[in-house]
Amino acid sequence: MIDYIDAIHTESARFADLVAAAPPNAPVPSCPGWSVADLTWHLLEVQYFWASIATDLLQSPETVVDLVRPSDDALPAMFRQQTQRLIDTLSSHEPDDACWSWHDSGHSIGWVRRRQAHEALIHRVDAELAAGQRSPIDPLLAADGIDEILTVMMDATDLPDWATFTADGSSAEIASNAGEAWTLILGRFTGTSPASGITYDDAAIQLADTLRTSTTIEGPPAELNLWLWGRGSLDTATVTGDQDLVERIRAAAVEATQ
């Protein structure tokens, strides 16, 4: 069983060390247009926001007060403070305690713990890419990260009334060499949000319980997780079947995580 709070602590501490040592204006290759200072501010804001939600188990984000961005030199220390605040408040509640979330199945402290563990992991990798360094990723956390991006970020099964998923008849399987596997149905997500007025026509996937497919992507959990997040390639993975479907899965991941 993964200790998500420990993962938040470990990944955030590594992130904090990296950004404190890097020039604030250094570019982040995996986040075009962002500097190390921008990356630090982003994760700092995210951790502040979810600590604010969790502290009083808020049922709406409307009362969360925006932070004021400090000078670039002050960002690493402020980040460490917000990480500790997030850890303290998530530790003070039970996983089943209810709170607000943007995800329909995510209204719990347990969901926030998991989401923030993977947020810290992915941005730790961003900081390493900016610094030209790499360090190992816990394979259990990486495998859980594959499931999290597929089920939380990408799966277009439970949609609002104004949205539609249209399958196009193609499917693929993502399988880690640790034994986990996910079957994906490919298609398009379409509709116009009544709240924002934005019209969507994006690549998307739905997860299926069982389905025979001739396209498979199999490899180490860390490699698959980082590939889905656009932080790595499939250098050591084995890809069989339709290469176009593989590119379309990445396109769906991009649409889902922007």
pLDDT digits (tens, 9 = 90+) for 118-134: 999 999 999 999 999 99
Averaged pLDDT, 188-212: 90
Whole-model pTM: value is: 0.94
Mean pLDDT of 19-43: 98
* Segment 224-234 mean pLDDT: 96
Kindly indicate the confidence band of residue 104, based on its pLDDT and cuts at 50, 70 and 90.
Answer: confident
Band the pLDDT of 50: cuts 50, 70, 90. very high
> Can you give the three-state secondary structure of 222-245, one letter per residue?
HHHHHHHCCCCCCCCCEEECCHHH
Instruction: Please write the tens of the pLDDT for every residue from 69-93.
Output: 999 999 999 999 999 999 999 999 9
Element at 74 (helix H, strand E): none
Q: What is the pLDDT of residue 1?
A: 86
Share of the chain above pLDDT 70, in %: 100
The helix (run of H) or strand (run of E) holding residue 108 is none
Using a pLDDT cut of 90, give the percent of the chain over it. Answer: 89
Q: Read off the pLDDT band of 41 (50, 70, 90).
A: very high
Identify the H or E element spanning 204: strand 199-208
pLDDT, position 209: 84
Contact 95, 1 (CB under 8 A): no
Mean pLDDT of the chain: 95
Checking if the pLDDT of 58 tops 90, the result is yes
Can you give the pLDDT at residue 105?
87
Give the pair of three-digit tokens for residue 103. Answer: 């995800």
- Helix, strand, coil percent values for the chain (each to nearest 5): 45, 20, 35
What integer pLDDT is reported at residue 212 of this predicted model?
81
**Which DSSP symbol is given to 76?**
H
> Within 10 A of 182 (CB to CB), how many other CB atoms are there?
20
Q: Scanning the structure block, which residue is given the tokens 């019209």?
A: 199
Identify residue 242 by its one-letter amino acid code.
Answer: D
In this prediction, residues 13-38 reach a mean pLDDT of 98
